[in-house]
Structure 1
Amino acid sequence: MPALHPVTAEITQRIVERSHDTRADYLARMEAARHDGPGRAKLSCANWAHAFAASPDGDKTRMRDPGAPNVAIVSAYNDMLSAHQPYERFPDVIRRAAREAGATAQYAGGVPAMCDGVTQGRPGMELSLFSRDVIAMSTAIALTHDAFDATLMLGICDKIVPGLFMGAAAFGHLPAIFVPGGPMTSGISNAEKARVRALYAEGKATRDELLDSEMKSYHGPGTCTFYGTANSNQMMMEMTGLHLPGAAFVTPNTPLRDALTAAAARRAVEIRGGTNAYTPFYDVIDEKSLVNATAGLLATGGSTNHTLHILAMARAAGIQMTWEDMDDLSRVTPLIARVYPNGTEDVNAFHAAGGMAFVTRTLLEAGLVHEDVRTVAGEGLSRYRQEPFLDDGRLVWREGPAASLDLDILRPADDPFEAEGGLRLLTGPLGRGVIKTSAVKPQHRIVEAPAAVFDDQEALLAAYGRGELNRDFVAVVRFQGPQANGMPELHSLTPPLGVLQDRGFKVALVTDGRMSGASGKVPAAIHVTPEAAVGGPLAYVRDGDVIRLDAEAGTLDIHVDPRELMRRERAACPRAAAGFGRELFGWMRRAAGPADTGACALFEAA
């Protein structure tokens, strides 16, 4: 393997040094749990009888043996999310495969799975980010029965994989394999979908026409095919070695998808404790594997949500990562993928062009990721240069393509779309935030204009509807942070702001809220911290203040003297709304950490 890039090596080492104490504490806890042995061997007869009272007789016979392996299934199945609907079939596939391997598998617990696509612009979006923490706790409840040798995590979408990951980290002495369901088949082109959305935002398309377009895009089982948070999750699970190689983007309800699901069950049995192949979660997930996941995110122009999730996921494993780490990695990691919204084609086209096998290969050859990591496949990251196939019904892996099959979608690291990755840290008098640059054309990456200040997204949409925003402006949408209202995505602002940009106006967004894995062509400084609700500078901005967002320089400036800014009367944070379950999450809003530590309610402040 080529030598590791010196910047990648330096960043990894500083993460190791920064994490020394917290990582040591985490590993000590995991080692203690490991040496306790399989939980069921310690359970009383009454406890263990409860655990398999409803199992089939054959499983009961096997489970009488305290040494027989038992695999937990933790699933985010529901049939409202297209990505998770295929999981309805997976437990039966897994149970059959486990039995063939001399083991049993039990559905240990379900975790909630809400769809950000359904809740965009609705009250439920204020629960979205915190659902990640609820999923982590739900995973812990499922596994706390302490009757399992390994776990299979069934989840795909936005907050679900990070939550499952954080829950798995709490039981890091157990092997964990993440089992994806795959993307839906391609519908209408992304360009056509975007065209109809823009027409609707301008009042030139009816709601029926918009709905018809959306239904032709989101039309069947599987993950949405744009490269948002859900598909970024799948990329990251490959880069961390928690998937079987090449599992991410195989479509649902196909023989290959089922074969990969069964293989995950068999592999979980093989790598359980007490075997020579024992591969616990805490050995797979370390500083190197998280740097690999971050490099993959940057190289492929992935979701901005992961500037929150990666930090929270790392903390769950005792690792301290920062936005500075991500920013410095972005400066040496080239952008090698163009997938909608950063390009015109979807993840199915990305997969066909070489997909994760090619991404892994070219990043390894450039020395931008660590090869010497443990993976659930039993080898280092080089194993993930391979692709799965069926050979006369038998699952096999072959070397993936050594060259991109479509240079408009996927390029080698030595001939990238851009020299730097798709994310950038912004700092300045207004705080710290991040911007996704991969979808923003270079001519739009610097915007200097008067502020138009709004305390919620509805106010901005109303101003747009009244025709008040046909001008250059920087929209400041504040009181959208985790402590204010749970940090909802503001993706519904993308179409009107995009329309205004297309009309020739200089437009940008600055917010302490989130955008989306689908963050698009309008420059957006997001996750700004300190948030306005706790007295961050955004609470003092007024209409007309000139703001400069410079994604090239990594700065977020306001042309007001900082002392004068902070002497102004502070805008009052609106009271958090009730209804739609939001009143149940007050403690999470109060406990949430800042965005630059993951906006998580489960960890004490660093």
Structure 2
Amino acid sequence: MVSPHSQLMKVTRRVIERSKPTREAYLARIAAAQDQFPARGVLSCANLAHGFAGLEGRDKIAIKSIREPNIGIVSAYNEMLSAHAPYKNYPDIIKEAARENGGVAQFAGGVPAMCDGITQGNAGMELSLFSREVIAMSTAVALTHNMFDAALCLGICDKIVPGLLIGALQFGHLPAIFVPAGPMASGLSNDEKAKVRQQFAMGQCGRDALLESEAAAYHSQGTCTFYGTANSNQMLMEVMGLHLPGSAFIHPYTPLRDELTAAAARRVLDLTVERGNYTPIGHVIDERAIINGIVALLATGGSTNHTMHLVAIARAAGILIDWDDFDALSDAIPLLARVYPNGKADVNHFHAAGGIAFLVRELLDGGLLHEDVTTVAGKGLRHYTKEPKLLDGKLTWVDAVEQSADAAVLRPLAEPFQPDGGLRLMQGRLGRGVIKVSAVAPERRKVRAPAIVFDSQEAVQEAFDRGELERDFVAVVRFQGARANGMPELHRLTPLLGVMQDKGFHVALVTDGRMSGASGKVPAVIHVSPETLLHGPIGKVRDGDIVVIDAVEGVLDVEVDAAEWDARPVAQPAHQESNEAGFGRELFGVFRAAAAPAEQGASVFGALVGEVDSKAGSDAGSKAAGATVTHARKATATQHQGA
């Protein structure tokens, strides 16, 4: 076993120490639940009879007898998400595999799964981030029947995997495996798709051409092939030990995919108390697993959304991480992959070049991952240096390739694309935010330009259409945080700012909102905390202020006289009510009013760890309460009236 890198150990020790009280409380809670096996054995006869009344045949007898372990299936299947459509037949595969291996499986419940690709730029996108909380609660509802000895979680995309994991961790005494479905085959290249989007933004092609381009890129069932949040999720579940090794990027509807699904059912039975290899999910996800996730995210230039999702996931297990941890690790973790938007390749090319197995081996051999961890495949992360094959019809794991099949996509540790990771912490008088620099050209990582202040992405589009962005500028887009409007991804901004940058202007974005998990070549400081509605200083910026962005040194500043800056009031929304109604937004008012700052995961579940305030939100303090009291009272009053 290779000695861990000093920076890896420094950050890990810091997280362990910071998390000690909350982690101990979490482990005590799941230890108390571990005394309740077999789960359904503690139910009354009436409870148990209800639990198997909907079944037939052998499955009904098996659950009634309480002799065989029962798997609860929680699925995000629907036909709205190409990535989740393949899940339709998974329960049948899982049930058959369970029966063949002395167990039983029940479909415990479905969770909602919305597609950001459909809702981006529309009102429905304002429900997207909080759908994570709904999915977590739906997972809890599915598992709360107490009928199960283990769980299989079927989910892939943006908020779905974090939500499933947050929910499953509240049943941390149960073994659980996450079951992917795999990416669609490669279609129109992401680079070509982006070009057509920019052409449409400039009026150089019509909607018919744009639609044909998008349909050629997103053309069949399976995960979208760019390296956004969905595929970052799949990479994380593998490196954090919750997938079967090598299962993330195997295509749907192939013999290997189906066999891996069946193998997940067989394996989770092996992890139950009854089989003597008890491995609860609350022990798999520990401080080292979370750190491993951050490392892999940095090494691959993964989604910026995980600077929030990983924080929320960690807190669900009593672990406290912040953006300082991401930043400190970024200094030590080299970038080993270039997958769109950090390069021209897609995840199919990444997988063919060597994929996660190659990546994990390189990082382990460099001491940049914790090897001595618990995983669903067994003790130690070395299990994930192997990839699955069907040899003579039998599922087998073989060692990762010795050399990358494409050095333009995936490189060894000795020859990285760049010596440090793909994310940076940005801080200064505008607050704290993050920037994804792995796709930003080095010469564009420093921008000093006048601010143009907007209150919505629609306002940016209007300014673009009027020709007002033909100059150097920093777009400051405020009132886009979780408290303001649910923190939708600002999808419309990517092609607009890309057009201006391609014309030779120095442009950048600063926002308290989110960008897509595929945010790319334009420097974008996002998730700025505290958000404007929490009295964040980003709300003090005025048109013409010189904004300084230095992604090399991590500087986010404004050139305004200190006395003037201190005296400026924070802007307040002119039409807040417009984001509170329509498309179901009324139902999410209580979430908006309760959401934590972005650095705390933008979650409403702060009470899970018994701690809400951290560095990201402490400066907001009492000012934040005053700034949002009217908005919060409105939402709370609505809830009380409904109650």
Question: One fold, TM greater than 0.5?
Answer: yes
Tell me the distance in 2 between the aligned counterparts of 1:206 and 1:241.
46
Tell me the distance in 2 between the aligned counterparts of 1:570 and 1:33.
47
Tell me the distance in 2 between the aligned counterparts of 1:295 and 1:58.
45
Two-structure CA RMSD over aligned residues (Å): 0.8
SS of residue in 2 equivalent to 1:89? helix
Tell me the distance in 2 between the aligned counterparts of 1:74 and 1:563.
56
1:589 aligns with 2:592: yes
Q: Map 1:108-127 onto structure 2 (within 5 A).
A: 108-127=108-127
Tell me the distance in 2 between the aligned counterparts of 1:170 and 1:563.
48
1:77 aligns with 2:77: yes
Q: CA deviation at 1:259?
A: 0.2
- The equivalent residue for 2:620 is none
Which one is further off, 49-58 or 342-351? 49-58
Q: Deviations over 1:179-205 (max 9, x none)?
A: 000000000112211111111111101
Q: Map 1:197-596 onto structure 2 (within 5 A).
A: 197-573=197-573, 574-576=575-577, 577=579, 578-596=581-599
Tell whether the 8 Å contact from 2:269 to 2:275 is kept in structure 1 after alignment: no
Tell me the distance in 1 between the aligned counterparts of 2:298 and 2:562.
33
Amino acid at match of 1:297: L
Tell me the distance in 2 between the aligned counterparts of 1:172 and 1:319.
13
Q: CA deviation at 1:274?
A: 3.4
Tell me the distance in 1 between the aligned counterparts of 2:512 and 2:127.
16
Q: CA deviation at 1:64?
A: 2.1
- The equivalent residue for 1:38 is 38
Q: CA deviation at 1:39?
A: 2.0
Tell me the distance in 2 between the aligned counterparts of 1:492 and 1:566.
33
Q: Deviations over 1:279-315 (max 9, x none)?
A: 1001111000111111000000000000000000000
Q: CA deviation at 1:367?
A: 0.4
Q: CA deviation at 1:38?
A: 2.3
Q: CA deviation at 1:275?
A: 3.0
- The equivalent residue for 1:603 is 606
Tell me the distance in 1 between the aligned counterparts of 2:179 and 2:150.
13
Tell me the distance in 1 between the aligned counterparts of 2:568 and 2:91.
59
Q: CA deviation at 1:58?
A: 1.1
SS of residue in 1 equivalent to 2:320? coil
Q: CA deviation at 1:534?
A: 1.6
Q: Deviations over 1:227-248 (max 9, x none)?
A: 0000000000011100000000
Tell me the distance in 2 between the aligned counterparts of 1:274 and 1:58.
19
Q: CA deviation at 1:56?
A: 1.9
Which one is further off, 487-496 or 210-219? 487-496
Tell whether the 8 Å contact from 1:366 to 1:414 is kept in structure 2 after alignment: no
Amino acid at match of 1:487: M
Q: CA deviation at 1:568?
A: 2.0
Q: Deviations over 1:415-456 (max 9, x none)?
A: 100000000000000000000001100011000000000011
Tell me the distance in 1 between the aligned counterparts of 2:425 and 2:127.
26
Which one is further off, 391-400 or 299-308? 391-400
Amino acid at match of 1:575: Q
Tell whether the 8 Å contact from 1:157 to 1:233 is kept in structure 2 after alignment: yes
SS of residue in 1 equivalent to 2:374? coil
SS of residue in 1 equivalent to 2:78? coil
Tell whether the 8 Å contact from 1:41 to 1:67 is kept in structure 2 after alignment: no
Tell me the distance in 1 between the aligned counterparts of 2:474 and 2:361.
41
SS of residue in 2 equivalent to 1:395? strand
What is the count of residue pairs matched by the alignment?
606
Tell me the distance in 2 between the aligned counterparts of 1:518 and 1:249.
18
Q: CA deviation at 1:600?
A: 0.2
SS of residue in 1 equivalent to 2:191? helix
Amino acid at match of 1:541: V
SS of residue in 2 equivalent to 1:475? strand
- The equivalent residue for 1:8 is 8
Tell me the distance in 1 between the aligned counterparts of 2:277 and 2:3.
28
Tell me the distance in 2 between the aligned counterparts of 1:569 and 1:512.
17
Q: CA deviation at 1:65?
A: 1.5
Q: Map 1:162-177 onto structure 2 (within 5 A).
A: 162-177=162-177
Tell me the distance in 1 between the aligned counterparts of 2:523 and 2:342.
13
Tell me the distance in 2 between the aligned counterparts of 1:314 and 1:128.
20
Amino acid at match of 1:438: S
Tell whether the 8 Å contact from 1:429 to 1:562 is kept in structure 2 after alignment: no
Q: Deviations over 1:460-483 (max 9, x none)?
A: 110001100000000000000010
Tell whether the 8 Å contact from 1:244 to 1:264 is kept in structure 2 after alignment: yes
Tell me the distance in 2 between the aligned counterparts of 1:128 and 1:565.
34
Tell whether the 8 Å contact from 1:174 to 1:273 is kept in structure 2 after alignment: no
- The equivalent residue for 1:128 is 128
Q: CA deviation at 1:407?
A: 0.2
Q: Deviations over 1:31-80 (max 9, x none)?
A: 00001222200111111111111212111121221232100000000011
SS of residue in 2 equivalent to 1:491? coil
Tell me the distance in 2 between the aligned counterparts of 1:300 and 1:437.
12
Which one is further off, 269-278 or 517-526? 269-278
Tell me the distance in 2 between the aligned counterparts of 1:481 and 1:283.
33
Q: CA deviation at 1:176?
A: 0.6
Q: CA deviation at 1:86?
A: 0.2
SS of residue in 1 equivalent to 2:557? strand
Tell whether the 8 Å contact from 2:532 to 2:570 is kept in structure 1 after alignment: no
Tell me the distance in 2 between the aligned counterparts of 1:311 and 1:58.
43
- The equivalent residue for 2:639 is none
Tell me the distance in 2 between the aligned counterparts of 1:192 and 1:522.
17
Which 4+ stretches in 1 moved above 4 angstroms? Answer: none
Amino acid at match of 2:125: M
Q: Map 1:9-158 onto structure 2 (within 5 A).
A: 9-158=9-158
Q: Give the 3 Å change call, closer, same or farther, for CA 601–61 of structure 1 in structure 2.
A: same
Tell whether the 8 Å contact from 2:52 to 2:64 is kept in structure 1 after alignment: no
SS of residue in 2 equivalent to 1:600? coil
Tell me the distance in 1 between the aligned counterparts of 2:144 and 2:67.
19
Tell whether the 8 Å contact from 1:4 to 1:368 is kept in structure 2 after alignment: yes
